[in-house]
């Protein structure tokens, strides 16, 4: 169900309410208006946005439907922005991005979104206490919202970084294909994040250069500040991607190393056991004429021969470096 709420600042008096406040705003050209619309329905919104405020049909549509990327469209009487609040749930491997469409005019701000947004809620609730938010102009309120949207990336990135580190450690412990699956999912989450953050960074760059007509010049530095944060975010994402690629490559090496170790064990076993079995086989032959069989110490001699061969083999592998103390120690750690 569509929810519309309106905040109106006249002089220093702040009123919040529903659509009806818009009329009061129309009457006073110095009044500042913020209209927040949640879960917009076409039949309710269209008369308000297109007919009453004269927003362009394409922009109005964009504020309704789902998946557009961050962008900026200038219009004669207002600026139209789409921002994206990104939320990647790394533990459950689901990523959600929430669209925020905004129309910014000289003395009004529309924020339109489907789901409730923490950033909107927070700034809205600060309105009564912090008059500056609307008094400085609706673009300052927009700044406050976008600032929160962007800064919400940081805890997320930290979470991802921890995830990658943890995965890396676990892979060195035991290279399991479940880890691989996790890594691929994490990679996709980060790719989704990146796909949205690059246009958002570009959008903020545009704004902070002063391209948007209804952002007042003295507020550009605030958007420049957000841009710097967004820049850092996308840099961090790239470092994470790089780290994940390295982890992927490392995974293969860890598995190969393990195969190597397994092969060594097999080879050492076979190389020791096969000759001994041969010796036993030889003295199990049924030839009538086999002098050793009749030696009184023949049995001891055979056992001794086996032990001798085993020792030679072990020494050989020792000298090849396949059996080492350090290897044993490492094994113990695993």
> Residue 258: in which H helix or E strand, if any?
helix 220-282
Candidate list 276, 309, 314, 323; residue touching its own copies; CB under 8 A: 276
Nearer to its own copies, 53 or 322 (CB): 322
Distance CA 188, CA 177 (A): 17
Gyration radius from the chain CA atoms: 35
Candidate list 85, 109, 144, 302; residue touching its own copies; CB under 8 A: 302
What 8-state DSSP symbol labels residue 86? E
Candidate list 18, 96, 166, 228; residue touching its own copies; CB under 8 A: 228
Residue 314 engages its own copies in binding (rule: CB under 8 A): no
Q: How far is the CB of 168 from its own copies (least distance, A)?
A: 7
- Per CB under 8 A, contacts with its own copies among 39-78 are 56, 58, 62, 67-69, 71, 73
HSE-up of residue 204 (Cα within 13 Å, Cβ side): 27
Stretch that binds its own copies, among 10-18, 25-33, 108-116, 264-272 (CB under 8 A): 264-272
Distance CA 191, CA 86 (A): 12
- Are the C-beta atoms of residues 244 and 187 closer than 8 Å to each other? yes
- Are the C-beta atoms of residues 3 and 38 closer than 8 Å to each other? yes
Residue 282 engages its own copies in binding (rule: CB under 8 A): yes
Sole residue written with tokens 């394409």 = 58
Residue 263 engages its own copies in binding (rule: CB under 8 A): yes
Residue 286 engages its own copies in binding (rule: CB under 8 A): yes
Nearer to its own copies, 106 or 195 (CB): 195
Residue 94 engages its own copies in binding (rule: CB under 8 A): no
The first and second tokens of residue 68, run together, are 């557009």
Q: How far is the CB of 46 from its own copies (least distance, A)?
A: 17
């Amino acid at each position: 169900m569509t929810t519309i709420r309106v905040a109106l600042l006249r002089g220093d008096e702040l009123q919040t309410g529903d659509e009806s406040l818009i009329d009061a705003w129309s009457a006073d050209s110095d009044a500042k208006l913020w209209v927040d619309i949640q879960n917009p329905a076409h039949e309710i919104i269209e008369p308000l946005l297109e007919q009453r405020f004269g927003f362009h049909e394409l922009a109005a549509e964009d504020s309704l439907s789902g998946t557009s990327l961050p962008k900026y469209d200038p219009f004669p009487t207002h600026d139209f922005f789409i921002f994206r609040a990104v939320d990647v749930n790394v533990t459950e491997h689901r990523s959600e991005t929430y669209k925020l469409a905004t129309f910014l005019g000289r003395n009004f701000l529309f924020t339109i979104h489907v789901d409730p947004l923490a950033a909107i809620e927070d700034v809205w609730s600060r309105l009564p206490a912090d008059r500056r938010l609307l008094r400085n102009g609706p673009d300052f309120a927009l700044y406050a919202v976008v600032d929160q949207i962007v800064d919400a990336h940081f805890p997320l990135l930290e979470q991802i970084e921890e995830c990658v580190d943890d995965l890396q450690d676990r892979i060195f412990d035991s290279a399991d294909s479940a880890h691989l699956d996790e890594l691929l999912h994490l990679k996709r989450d980060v790719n989704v994040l990146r796909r949205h953050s690059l246009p958002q960074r570009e959008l903020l760059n545009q704004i902070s250069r002063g391209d948007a007509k209804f952002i007042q010049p003295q507020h550009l530095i605030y958007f420049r500040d957000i841009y710097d944060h967004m820049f850092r975010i996308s840099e961090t994402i790239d470092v994470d991607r790089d780290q994940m690629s390295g982890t992927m490559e490392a995974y293969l090496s860890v598995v190969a190393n393990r195969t190597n170790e397994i092969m060594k064990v097999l080879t050492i076993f076979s190389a020791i056991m096969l000759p001994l079995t041969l010796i036993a086989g030889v003295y199990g032959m049924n030839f009538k004429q086999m002098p050793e069989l009749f030696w009184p110490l023949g049995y001891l001699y055979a056992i001794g021969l086996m032990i001798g061969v085993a020792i030679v083999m072990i020494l050989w592998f020792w000298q090849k470096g396949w059996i080492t103390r350090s290897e044993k120690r490492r094994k113990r750690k695993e």
